[in-house]
Amino acid sequence: MVKIDNENIIHLFKKYSIEWYININISNAKNLEYSPLHDEVSLDSNENINTSITIIKENKKSVFWIDSYSLEKIEFAIKDMLKVIDFGECDKDIILPNITDKIKKDFSNPELENISFEDLEAEFLKFKNFDFAKNIFIETFSIWVNYATHHYINSLWAFKTQIDNSSFYYIEIFWENEDKKENHYKYCSSKDKPNINLEDIKKLQDELIFKLSDSKIDFKSWIYDITLDREVVIEFLDIILWNMWAESIREWTSLFSKNKIWDKIFWENFTLINNPELKDYTWTMLFDKEWITAKKTILFEKWVFKSKFYDYKNALKEWLENLWNSTISNIELVWESDKNYLVWSKILFTNLMAFHTVDESTWKFSLNWEWYLLENWEKKDYIKNISLSWNIINLFSNIKSIWDDFKTDWNFKVPSISFSKQKVI
């Protein structure tokens, strides 16, 4: 395990009389992967270290990345940075964040640190030994446990540490017979020890078999009430969130730079919060990239855009007394959930293709989807490749109901959502 010597790092930076802060991330991981082609299991254990050094001199900033950690490499980096920093942009608001607190947060689960390769193999064997139906085979299996430590130190003698760990597994199966092939997968991340449930494998298989049943419908283009699976909702919200950085809005590279859009984004009673206080979510980060402690912040409330993501420089430009963090911590959607969310929906969209084609300047999209035809809340048929064309703002202005299928994987507390009057072709 790498030992971080705070005192020597501070001494090193004092030697050059500069303002600075440094991030050191240490990640230890164990993982198991299975190759069905060769019936081969590979096991791996590794430690990754990366160091980010930020120097601020006369309202100019320089950042340097090192894929390791040592005092010698840090000093070499400082010398190189000081040679080029004078060529950088000068901005009166580029100053050292006033961080003086000393914090240590430990979100690790002791069980995860002690997981052995035998533990990973035991979970894998549950999957490999499952009695799959005819023509169904294993496509991919991987299981991974990670425990990480994030260190922050600055020239004001502030020390911050976050210790964290998480696990995930990814399993994929496929059905193949003559010229037909279809696959289905399950991904799960957790703060707990990986647990591959046999019932989950059965559901995965049953879903694949359902997808392979011959479609018996003659689909017609029309205006439908639809539901988007939570994973699809997250994809859309991700685009919205990445347009909320204060600098991109200020520089007119964000859709939110256009004033008319600020009037109404979502349906009323829709509240979206950046909430680092959520418990048990994987990938939580309690400090932003400048290591200002993250705060619970309302992003949207009663359909109105309330907050941006600020770094220190852009917060100063807008004369903010209380700095708002510039990192997405845990996104929480708050609304009264409706257990009957599917009752009016005709179509459930579960996957989308070519999401990168969404127009970033208008948020317009025309995407092909995998979807299920619904009848009395139940899936009746599965079809590929119908198109939903719209723009994200109009889509989210037509929310009809929200389900309660929240999960703690990743960092989105987001459910499936139903939308009214969507044109499907």
Cβ neighbors of 192 (< 8 A, separation 6 or more) are 109, 111, 112, 167
- 3 state DSSP class of 155: coil
d(CA 310, CA 316): 9
Q: What are phi and psi of 73, to 5 degrees?
A: -70, -35
pLDDT at residue 169 in the model? 94
Of 258, 239, 228, nearest to 399 by C-alpha is: 228
pLDDT digits (tens, 9 = 90+) for 102-129: 889 898 888 898 899 999 999 999 999 9
Instruction: Give the DSSP H or E segment for 168.
Output: strand 159-177
d(CA 389, CA 344): 20
pLDDT digits (tens, 9 = 90+) for 227-244: 898 888 888 888 888 888
pLDDT at residue 267 in the model? 66
pLDDT at residue 301 in the model? 83
In which band, very low, low, confident or very high, does the pLDDT at 424 lie, cut at 50, 70 and 90? Answer: confident
pLDDT at residue 360 in the model? 76
In which band, very low, low, confident or very high, does the pLDDT at 338 lie, cut at 50, 70 and 90? Answer: low
Instruction: Kindly tell me if the per-residue pLDDT of 178 is higher than 80.
Output: no
In which band, very low, low, confident or very high, does the pLDDT at 138 lie, cut at 50, 70 and 90? Answer: very high
**CATH top-level class for 6-212?**
alpha beta
369 neighbors 422 (Cβ within 8 angstroms): no
pTM score: 0.86
Up-side HSE of residue 12: CA atoms within 13 Å toward CB? 22
Query: In terms of pLDDT, which residue wins out, 326 or 381?
Result: 381
In the chain, which residues fall in CATH 3.30.2290.10? 6-212
> Kind of pairing, strands 347-352 and 222-228?
parallel
User: Taking each helix axis from N to C terminus, what angle separates 71-84 and 6-16, rounded to the nearest 10 degrees?
Assistant: 30
pLDDT digits (tens, 9 = 90+) for 254-304: 888 875 555 566 667 778 888 887 887 887 888 887 888 888 888 888 777
CA–CA distance from 355 to each of 184, 239, 398 (Å)? 19, 10, 21
User: Taking each helix axis from N to C terminus, what angle separates 198-212 and 117-128, rounded to the nearest 10 degrees?
Assistant: 40
pLDDT digits (tens, 9 = 90+) for 48-107: 999 999 999 999 999 999 999 999 999 999 999 999 998 888 999 998 888 888 889 898
Query: How large is the average pLDDT for residues 38-54?
Result: 93
- Backbone dihedral region for residue 182 (phi beyond 0: left; psi -120 to 50: alpha; all else: beta): beta
